[in-house]
């Protein structure tokens, strides 16, 4: 640690010892000063950044950690912005939280601060899925909302996501304006606390029923569900917020044979049965797949701790459970919606779907086939929500999602919703069995024959702490300075740079503008259709590499061979980029 950095860290830590902080916090700061200077540096070398989505960080004492003080300063900054933006109005806000350690405490602190600022506050009486918070903002005509969650991050993390009047996470210009207001809160004495508790209204099971009823309006095949209501479904909430409402939604759709993984139906912010509560990882899904195998389940479902991401495992022809990646789950759910909307005569050319730029190209092909528009947007559900907002009154949204296991059907929620996605996945399985005699996995294979076999993969390179953040920035700079000329001998023909908002035609050198918000993403397009995207995560200390390849699949009989060829191609690309 340089002397200059050491002095900065010690000065900031001393302010916490001298300030109006609780004694337990001061004891922990003293301990770090005396026994763990490395952790002291990580805790104080900077302020936990209120980014465009809010806060996310490791819990603990210090300016660079999630605690009641950093949460409080963020909330007061948000409150100040709301008062400026909605001057003269009675401001209403909704607050939710997940199962993480300290989430309830943080949520109650947020509620206290908003109430102390004179707002009408709707606080859920216990943990709830993040999408229900988005729904509540719209249903209760709130001006803003906050959910306390770190999604699928490890147990050490917590987070804070801010929402706007339409129920989506904040976007420009509000995101930058809120950040500016939060930056003006430089002392905890600026936080308003302990006033107007009568301004807080608790939301309970009656509100859940309103949410579940709205989800049920998405049902497209009630006759198929009636025939296969006893289809075996295994579900795990991974110790999180889906524990009650996902099974309740499945039952409302008509399913009667739902088994929860008992050890993981226990609400616990330590996530004791998994290394990471992320349904993207096969290891995390082990217990659910084991129970599925034991029961012979048709469908194995999972949701992350705040129940906005969905994991799906299906049996293949050999009886083995295959964990779908996010692109496959999205493609299945979207194909089901598009097919049924078409069969029901709901498509007239004025409908659309949405996906993010790092997501599979398969939805684009499906949308074209069904005669609906497919929008591509930046990574993050708030950008999908923005497209929905811009199309209100002009076109009808069917569904949309992203490769990171998020899907949203219907527009009454403006964030990814695993509660509704689980119900639609189950209904799609019943419908496929009823109308085609196929399992959901067999139908996915048929979709590959129809639209092309799209195969994707993701590599995340983790670089933690101060040094890691700098390394990630250097990597992106190097890629911009010296992009690859080819990918597996196929020349790179196009480069999209979402930071400079330019598309470069590599052969001619011609540059055309990208009409989008600036974001630190690079994409390389090869002549053979391969796409590689690179972006630092906005919420985690990692840089992500997305790979997309495609081949024709003439028949399901060729599935295993073509899948192996595509996977081998992705592995070769990883090695070429020194990622394997």
Q: pLDDT digit string (tens) for 179-208?
A: 999 999 999 999 999 999 999 999 999 999
Dump pLDDT digits (tens) for 384-406: 999 999 999 999 999 999 999 99
Residue ranges of the chain assigned to CATH 3.40.120.10:
46-203, 211-451
> pLDDT grade, residue 294 (50/70/90)?
very high
Reduce the secondary structure of 112-150 to three states and give it as a string: HHHHHCCCEEEEECCCCCHHHHHHHHHHCCCCEEEEECC
From CA 227, how far away is CA 211, in angstroms rounded?
26
Indicate the helix (H) or strand (E) that contains 222.
Answer: helix 222-227
Is it the case that residue 298 has pLDDT exceeding 90? yes
How high is the pLDDT of residue 1?
Answer: 54
For residue 425, what are the CA distances in angstroms to 362, 417, 441? 18, 12, 11
Q: What percent of the chain has pLDDT over 70?
A: 99
Least trusted range by pLDDT, from 47-56, 349-358, 406-415, 489-498: 47-56
How high is the pLDDT of residue 286?
Answer: 97
Superfamily of 211-451 according to CATH? Alpha-D-Glucose-1,6-Bisphosphate, subunit A, domain 3 (3.40.120.10)
145 token code pair: 């909302």
209 token code pair: 């029923």
Under DSSP, is residue 568 helix (H, G, I), strand (E, B) or coil? Answer: helix
Q: Which residues are catalytic?
A: 151
Is it the case that residue 580 has pLDDT exceeding 70? no
Q: Does domain 46-203 have CATH number 3.40.120.10?
A: yes
Is it the case that residue 3 has pLDDT exceeding 70? yes
Reduce the secondary structure of 22-65 to three states and give it as a string: CHHHHHHHHHHHHHCHHHHHHHHCCCCCCECCEEEEEECCCCCC
Indicate the helix (H) or strand (E) that contains 527.
Answer: none
Mean pLDDT within 541-559:
94
How high is the pLDDT of residue 538?
Answer: 67
Residue ranges of the chain assigned to CATH 3.30.310:
454-576
Is it the case that residue 53 has pLDDT exceeding 80? no
Q: How many CB atoms lie within 10 A of CB 24?
A: 9
- The alpha carbon of residue 252 and the mean position of all alpha carbons in its chain are separated, in whole angstroms, by 25
How high is the pLDDT of residue 471?
Answer: 84
From CA 253, how far away is CA 218, in angstroms rounded?
9
* CB distance 94 to 147 below 8 Å: no
Q: How many CB atoms lie within 10 A of CB 543?
A: 22
How high is the pLDDT of residue 541?
Answer: 79
Is it the case that residue 465 has pLDDT exceeding 90? no
From CA 160, how far away is CA 149, in angstroms rounded?
6
> pLDDT grade, residue 469 (50/70/90)?
confident
The CATH code that applies to domain 454-576 is 3.30.310
From CA 103, how far away is CA 108, in angstroms rounded?
9
Residue from 121, 80, 321 nearest 203 by CA: 121
Dump pLDDT digits (tens) for 124-164: 999 999 999 999 999 999 999 999 999 988 999 999 999 99
How high is the pLDDT of residue 229?
Answer: 98
How high is the pLDDT of residue 468?
Answer: 80
Cβ neighbours for 568, distance < 8 A, ≥ 6 positions apart:
none
For residue 336, what are the CA distances in angstroms to 363, 376, 493? 12, 20, 34
From CA 145, how far away is CA 133, in angstroms rounded?
7
């Amino acid at each position: 640690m340089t002397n200059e950095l050491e002095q900065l860290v010690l000065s900031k830590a001393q302010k916490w010892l001298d300030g109006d902080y609780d004694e337990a916090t001061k004891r922990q700061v003293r301990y770090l000063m005396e026994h763990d200077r490395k952790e002291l540096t990580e805790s104080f070398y900077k302020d936990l950044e209120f980014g465009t989505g809010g806060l996310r960080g490791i819990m603990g004492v210090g300016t660079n950690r999630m605690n009641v003080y950093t949460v409080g300063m963020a909330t007061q900054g948000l409150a100040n912005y709301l008062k400026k933006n909605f001057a003269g109005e009675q401001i209403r806000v909704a607050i939710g939280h997940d199962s993480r350690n300290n989430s309830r405490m943080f949520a109650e602190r947020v509620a206290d601060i908003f109430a102390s600022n004179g707002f009408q506050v709707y606080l859920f009486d216990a943990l709830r899925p993040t999408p229900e918070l988005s729904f509540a903002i719209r249903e209760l005509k709130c001006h803003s909302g906050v959910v306390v969650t770190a999604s699928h991050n490890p147990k050490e993390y917590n987070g804070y996501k801010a929402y706007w009047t339409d129920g989506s996470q904040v976007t420009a210009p509000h995101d930058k304006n809120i950040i500016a207001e939060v930056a003006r809160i430089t002392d905890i004495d600026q936080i308003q606390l302990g006033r107007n508790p009568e301004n807080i209204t608790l939301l309970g099971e009656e509100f859940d029923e309103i949410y579940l009823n709205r989800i049920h309006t998405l049902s497209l095949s009630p006759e198929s569900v009636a025939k296969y209501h006893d289809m075996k479904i295994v579900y795990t909430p991974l110790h999180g917020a889906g524990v009650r409402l996902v099974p309740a939604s499945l039952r409302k759709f008509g399913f009667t044979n739902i088994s929860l993984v008992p050890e993981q139906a226990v609400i616990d912010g330590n996530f004791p049965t998994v290394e990471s509560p992320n349904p993207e990882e096969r290891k995390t899904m082990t217990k659910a797949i084991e129970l599925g195998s034991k029961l012979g389940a048709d469908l194995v479902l999972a949701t992350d701790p705040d129940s906005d991401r969905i994991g799906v495992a299906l049996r293949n022809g050999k009886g083995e459970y295959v964990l779908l990646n996010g692109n496959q789950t999205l493609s299945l759910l979207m194909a089901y919606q598009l097919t049924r909307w078409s069969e029901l005569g709901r498509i007239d050319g004025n409908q659309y779907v949405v996906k993010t730029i790092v997501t599979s190209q398969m939805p684009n092909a499906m949308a074209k086939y069904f005669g609906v528009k497919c929008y591509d947007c930046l990574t993050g559900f708030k950008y999908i929500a923005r497209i929905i907002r811009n199309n209100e009154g002009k076109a009808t949204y069917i569904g949309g999602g992203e490769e990171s296991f998020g899907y949203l059907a219907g527009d009454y929620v403006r964030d990814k919703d695993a509660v509704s996605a689980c119900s639609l996945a189950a209904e799609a399985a019943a419908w496929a069995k009823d109308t085609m005699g196929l399992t959901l996995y067999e139908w996915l294979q048929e979709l590959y024959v129809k639209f092309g076999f799209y195969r994707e993969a993701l590599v995340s390179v983790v670089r933690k702490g101060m040094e890691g953040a700098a390394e990630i920035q250097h990597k992106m700079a190097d890629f911009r300075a010296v992009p690859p000329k080819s990918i597996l001998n196929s020349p790179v023909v196009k480069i999209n740079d979402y930071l400079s908002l330019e598309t470069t035609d590599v052969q001619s050198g011609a540059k055309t503008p990208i009409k989008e918000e600036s974001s630190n993403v690079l994409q390389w397009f090869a002549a053979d259709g391969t796409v590689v995207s690179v972006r630092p995560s906005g919420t985690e200390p990692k840089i992500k590499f997305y790979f997309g390849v495609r081949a024709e699949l003439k028949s399901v009989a060729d599935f295993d061979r073509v899948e192996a060829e595509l996977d081998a191609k992705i592995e070769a690309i990883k090695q070429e980029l020194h990622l394997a």
